[in-house]
Chain A
Amino acid sequence: MRPQCLWSCAHGLVAKTSLSSPPWPEVPKLPDPVEEAKYHAEVVQKVNGMISAGEYGRLFAVVHFASKQWKVTSEDLIMMDNVLEAECGDRIRLEKVLLVGADDFTLIGRPLLGKDLVRVEATVIEKTESWPKIHMRFWKRHNYQRKKIIRNPQTVLRINTIEIYPCLS
């Protein structure tokens, strides 16, 4: 007595019932790896050519900085809720870049892009404190209230440039 599975025999011979096909959806076949590698190499070469020829407009980047991720373009302002150990007017390079995109192509990092591929520069503009936030706790009928005024230090950065170099492989 050999156990047999209905769907390992020919599909055309079995009527369509709840058990005639597997419960998972049909997976289409992946393209041939050799052809895919050729296609990938072509695409990489084309994008490299576009980058070296400079055929892109405004670039945007997703940068991981101050434990947050920011979607950033050139000339835009970023405000973080902490102190940066740099003076006002210092030029800073943001190194952890997760994604860079232009109009026609995007470079997605897994998880980060190489430092020789992207360069994001920023300047420290302002180091201030936040507006006085009020932290109040109150328990009713217990004569308990505490009021505290919190001022967080803030830093404002201006993203100067995002540059990419044709180092794809």
Chain B
Amino acid sequence: MVVLSAARWIRSRLTDRFWRKQEVLKYARHFRGRKNRCYKLAVRSVRRAFVKSTKARAEKKKFLRALWITRIGAASLEHGLKYPVFISNLVKSQVELNRKVLADLAIYEPKTFKSLAALAQRRRQEGFLAALGDGKEPEGIFSRIVRHHY
């Protein structure tokens, strides 16, 4: 018997509902409470977890830079310099090491860090001397204390 029209009593049923839910639940298995088992609760938690991990990727860079700066500051204080002095003088001496590498050197290569601190200190003193010049007052300028001669 040839049937030309499709049978009208066939329903289309979702058959892989289990696996679609498992795709979400697999990311929630290490959560606490019912949200690691129940799909409705898990969907919300997993969504928040994804969004937080996305935003954290940008903040990780800020956080690590702040950590490096703290470490470099602490290490340069051990050698008698503050962080802004150290970094500014290194940059003026054309040493282009970034904070990540400076922090690693401060931890694992203390002698190298000491030599960098000495370089920064020496550049600082040269800068002061260049700024002070002769030590004389420029002409025609009143200094802060003026002695009156009567």
With beta carbons under 8 angstroms apart, the residue of B57, B105, B111, B142 that contacts A71 is B105
Q: Does B101 contact A (CB under 8 A)?
A: yes
Q: Which B118-134 residues have a C-beta within 8 angstroms of A?
A: 119, 125-126, 128-129, 132
With beta carbons under 8 angstroms apart, the residue of B100, B112, B119, B145 that contacts A69 is B100
Q: Does A108 contact B (CB under 8 A)?
A: yes
Alpha-carbon gap, A70 to B105, bound state (A): 11
Tell me whether A27 and B132 are in contact (CB under 8 A).
Answer: yes
Q: Does A114 contact B (CB under 8 A)?
A: no
Tell me whether B142 and A69 are in contact (CB under 8 A).
Answer: no
Alpha-carbon gap, A8 to B111, bound state (A): 41
Q: How far is the CB of B2 from chain A (nearest CB, A)?
A: 47
Which A-chain residue is minimally distant from B147 (CB atoms)?
A: A4
For B, the interface residue count at a CB cutoff of 8 angstroms equals: 41
Q: Which B92-138 residues have a C-beta within 8 angstroms of A?
A: 93-98, 100-101, 104-105, 108-109, 111-112, 115-116, 119, 125-126, 128-129, 132, 135-137
Tell me whether B112 and A101 are in contact (CB under 8 A).
Answer: yes
With beta carbons under 8 angstroms apart, the residue of A109, A110, A111, A147 that contacts B50 is A147
Alpha-carbon gap, A168 to B135, bound state (A): 37
Report A's interface with B, CB cutoff 8 A: 1-6, 8, 19, 24, 27-28, 30, 60, 62, 69-71, 98-99, 101, 103, 106, 108-111, 133-138, 145, 147
Contact of A5 with B145 at beta-carbon distance under 8 Å, contacts A24-B128, A30-B129, A134-B54 already known: yes
Tell me whether A110 and B95 are in contact (CB under 8 A).
Answer: yes
Closest 5 CB pairs of A and B: A136-B50, A111-B96, A5-B143, A110-B94, A27-B128
Alpha-carbon gap, A109 to B97, bound state (A): 10
Tell me whether B145 and A2 are in contact (CB under 8 A).
Answer: no
If A3-B146, A24-B132 are given as contacts, then 5 extra A-B residue pairs at C-beta distance below 8 Å, sorted by A number, are A8-B137, A30-B125, A71-B104, A71-B105, A108-B116
Alpha-carbon gap, A145 to B48, bound state (A): 11
Q: How far is the CB of B122 from chain A (nearest CB, A)?
A: 8
Tell me whether B104 and A137 are in contact (CB under 8 A).
Answer: no
Q: List 15 A-B contacts (CB under 8 A).
A: A3-B141, A3-B147, A4-B147, A8-B136, A27-B128, A28-B125, A30-B125, A30-B126, A69-B98, A99-B112, A101-B112, A108-B115, A134-B50, A134-B53, A136-B50
Tell me whether A4 and B93 are in contact (CB under 8 A).
Answer: no
Q: How far is the CB of A6 from chain B (nearest CB, A)?
A: 5
